[in-house]
Structure 1
Amino acid sequence: MTTIEIVEVSPRDGLQNEKTLLSTEDKLALIGKALDAGVRRMEVASFVNPKKVPQMADAEAVMAGLPARDDVTYVGLALNERGFERAVAADVDEVNFAVMASDTFNRRNQGADAFETARQLTTIADNAQGKIPIGVTIGTAFGCPFEGEVSLDRVLSLVEAIAATLPREIALADTIGVATPRDVAERVGAVRDRYPDVPIRCHFHNTRNTGIANAWAAIEAGATTLDSSLGGVGGCPFAPAATGNIATEDLVYMLDRAGIATGLDLQACIETAQWLEGKLGHAIPGQVMKAGGFPAPA
């Protein structure tokens, strides 16, 4: 693997669990800085109930303020048909539709069992055919805070239902940060073996300090795209103690040193993470933003 696509998720997943509510202007500034750093695919908003996720209440305003770029894909998250309709009306370039692997989490997150949500996706995908790309993220694909272990068979059954809708890609998400590299190799490998023509994306949280190792395991197992968040900010409002995503600048550093191209500028990522820390008003977990890149000789 000589290139990996990075999907920047700080404007969406990164901010959705923050106590500090960034203004629309600050969100647009964050997105602009990410674009300047080389990001070309980015989750910019979540079209969910603003009463449940007030950090995303200005989703339409964010979309309206984005610079028009033919070389950038702006992605909106949707959890149901209503969210999908809002995302399309806001003129997103792509919808990321999420389904949780565990029924308990899916009911808390989306008010329905997992396969019921997957059936909603079938209708949505039929209506969207030829109009807008849909990627699908399977959350809690490595474990659930309410049900515990999530079996590989359960994940593959959900993948089968989702693959039938012909998504642009399928993402496996470690929503609560419990995966290990062995888990990642097993699950990414199993999906790749069954559906070799479906691109695989992975989304890792660094809750237990395994996120970067999991990202490397995902690459080795055949994933072509990884999610990350500047400064390592993020978390799910519906997952107890689910802390941040893997940090974009940490991921870029590792891949740069491994000779894997991302198209992102490390120093610009570091500076943007530092800017975001200032806006949030508290320390954020990224490591390379504190240490810097590989030190130059004295």
Structure 2
Amino acid sequence: MTDGLPMEVSVPGLPARVRIHEVGARDGLQNEKEVVPTEVKAEFIRRLADAGLTTIEATSFVHPKWVPQLADAEDLFPRLGGLGDGVALPVLVPNERGLERALALGARRIAVFGSATETFAARNLNRTVAESLAMFEPVVARAKEDEVHVRGYLSMCFGDPWEGKVPVHQVVRVARQLMDLGCDELSLGDTIGVATPGHVLALLARLNEEGVPTSAIGVHFHDTYGQALANTFAALEHGVTTVDASAGGLGGCPYAKSATGNLATEDLVWMLHGLGIETGVDLDRLSATSAWMAGQLGRPSPSRTVRALSPKES
């Protein structure tokens, strides 16, 4: 039996603290077929904050036609006040119109979503990689004028379901261009979950060589081949301190059918706490939150840790 906490055994050279960028409320829910009520989303975010998560990606100001699940962004975001001064609520914006909508509601952290491959850029953004970067340029410039923090998501960094293996130099080139627009942070997406630790380390090293500091890099792994935690550990060894994860392992990608769920936040926290790495997260509260959300969605949580800590979650 376990008391709900792993035995702490630290590994030399790893970060003392990791910031978890929680994506469950946006990336985790965006592919749900049944529309989740706005009040449920708001309660989900409140519970995530109560569990100690300090960066919770709330929603996306994309056109409702493309992601109907997030059509309530204008209604949801104003409901999220009172979470505490230490809680950041980033939102995804696809273009200048999306940015205007987000700024009008007081958003102070935004994200743009690019692709390292041409095929996914065409399918997700209906543009070439170069055209998508050109679309982001005025968005980032305007955000920086307003002193808004900008995250740049880069998808298909390790593999693409249509193009196959993605060369490291190709990813680095697009990543460098994205950062040159003025992004404060870069999130490397393993959108279809094909990365392995050596690949992760090679990409991080090349990014450093091209002037992208490790401090500006976050990692976003999917668990298609069961490699998400191994890849995260490799990133930690390199010095990465920002890791994306989704409460309960919710999510995928509506434009890449081979993309399975995100790394579950609970599974990540179990590993980090076992390594003696601080997160500020209460694992019991977080697991209870994901079990609650699974109940709202009418199915068990895919997170192994949630299932282990919640005997009735099966």
Does the TM-score normalized on the shorter chain lie above 0.5? Answer: yes
Q: Is the 8 A contact 2:91 2:109 kept in 1?
A: yes
Q: Distance in 1 between the 2:199 and 2:101 partners?
A: 35
Query: Which shows bigger deviation, 261-270 or 187-196?
Result: 187-196
Q: Deviations over 1:161-186 (max 9, x none)?
A: 11212211111001111111111111
The residue aligned with 2:239 is: 222
Q: In the alignment, which residue of structure 2 is the partner of 1:10?
A: 24
Rounded to whole Å, the distance in 2 between the matches of 1:257 and 1:80 is 41
Query: Contact 1:80–1:110 at 8 Å: present in 2 too?
Result: no
How many Å separate the matches in 1 of 2:171 and 2:212? 16
Structure 2 SS opposite 1:172: strand
2:71 matched to 1:57? yes
2:56 is matched with which residue? 42
SS of match in other structure, 1:17:
coil
Partner-residue secondary structure (3-state), 1:73: coil
Q: Within 2, Cα distance between the matches of 1:12 and 1:92?
A: 15
**Quick one: which amino acid aligns to residue 31 of structure 2?**
N
- 2:40 is matched with 26
Report the secondary structure of 1:26's partner residue: helix
* Higher mean C-alpha deviation, range 218-227 or range 249-258: 218-227
- The corresponding residue for 1:202 is 219
1:283 paired residue among 284, 294, 300: 300
Contact kept? 2:197, 2:234, Cα under 8 Å: yes
- 2: CA distance between counterparts of 1:241 and 1:141? 15
Divergent runs of 4+, >3 A? none
Number of the residue aligned with 1:296: none
Q: Does 1:237 align with 2:251?
A: no
Q: Which residue of 2 aligns with 1:104?
A: 119
Whether contact under 8 Å (1:3, 1:260) holds in the other structure is yes
**Contact between 1:78 and 1:87, CA under 8 Å: does it hold in 2?**
yes
Distance 2:69 2:143 in 1: 27
C-alpha distance 243-196 of structure 1, shift in aligned 2 (>3 A): closer
Which of residues 82, 86, 96 in structure 2 aligns to 1:71?
Answer: 86
Q: SS at 1:82's partner residue? A: helix
Ranges in structure 1 where 5+ consecutive residues have no aligned partner: 294-298
Letter in 2 for 1:31: I
Count of matched residue pairs: 293
Could you tell me whether the CA contact under 8 Å between 1:192 and 1:222 is conserved in 2?
no
- Return the TM-score normalized by structure 2: 0.90
One-letter code of the match for 1:173? G
Match of 1:127 in 2: 142
The answer (yes or no) to whether the contact 1:16–1:55 under 8 Å persists in 2 is yes
Q: How far apart, CA to CA, are the structure 2 residues paired with 1:182 and 1:20?
A: 38
Partner of 1:169: 185
